Structure 1
Amino acid sequence: MTLDMTMADTAIQKSVYLPAPRKRVWEFLTKADLLNKWFHPAQKDLAEGEDYLLTSQKDGDRMCWGTVQEMSPYDYMKWSFTVGPMNGAMTTVEWRLEDAPGGTKLTLEHSELPTDSEGYGLVLALDKGWHGFLLNLHDMQ
């Protein structure tokens, strides 16, 4: 199966409200030991301009990878992002952190997703995955 990975308006957008300050949420988005608690194990802390690799907690297999394209601590981060089914095609994941009463509003936008009907299954899987991972952040300590 070949997926149409042309840039388009297909995007996943999700927000979650977390009872923690932006600095703490940022640490969960960027620190290897904390990424492991809610998402996937990272080889190292995320840093602007550097590649990242997140692996499976079960067997250490490669789950997702790309490059951290931009970081503005406690406010914004942008990644290039791919997973195995994308066959190396890159998408974009953006994270926005905003103050909210009692904590932080974290917004994820995953864009440049497949535009064809064959790729829709991948979009659904990514949507479900992001939903679950963001819910995991409610358990941050």
Structure 2
Amino acid sequence: MTDTVIEKTVFLAANKPDVWAFLTDAKKLGQWFHPAQADLAEGEDYLLTSQKDGDRMCWGTVEKADPHDYLRWSFTVGPMQGSMSTVEWRLEDVPGGTRLSLTHSGLPQGSEGFGLVIALDKGWHGFLLNLHNLHG
């Protein structure tokens, strides 16, 4: 069986440092994804909460941060029941802005976890659209 992986790419009319800030700055994360308790930094745990009621939405650890180029988080949500997955962000200069690529791996395998994979895929699609709308 092959690994289930979500891959997304969006082109943003912003330079890499600006895009990086939207991936790591607590306030900017809340503009397109979920608010963070603190800025995301390598080696630090993070918690992203609901904008509506402050409930815990997703959490993990920032495993690697190469500013403006690469960011990797361990990542989980409630329905994963404590299982960790990996979210990787790659930023590349392109004429006029930045190509931001997301790879979400370590997802549930098999038909029993497929509903969660669909929900995560839909979520990432919507969140990246939010980010695109900020930097269209």
Does the pair score TM above 0.5? yes
- Alignment match, 2:15: 21
The structure whose residues are more often helix, as a share, is 2
Q: Which amino acid aligns with 2:62?
A: V
Q: 1:83 aligns with which of 61, 77, 83?
A: 77
Cα distance, 1:139 vs structure 2:
2.9
How many correspondences in the alignment? 134
Q: What RMSD, in angstroms, separates the aligned Cα atoms of the two structures?
A: 0.9
- TM-score normalised by the chain length of structure 2: 0.96
Percent identity, please.
71
Matches within 5 A, 1:47-86: 47-86=41-80
Question: 2:101, 2:63 → 1: CA distance?
Answer: 17
Structure 2 matches for 1:1-141, cutoff 5 A?
Answer: 9-140=3-134
TM (normalized to structure 1)?
A: 0.93
Structure 1 alignment gaps of length 5 or more: 1-7
Any runs of at least 4 consecutive aligned residues in structure 1 with deviations exceeding 3 A, and if so which? Answer: none
Unaligned runs of 5+ in 2: none
Q: How far did 1:140 drift?
A: 2.5
Corresponding letter in the other structure for 2:104 = H
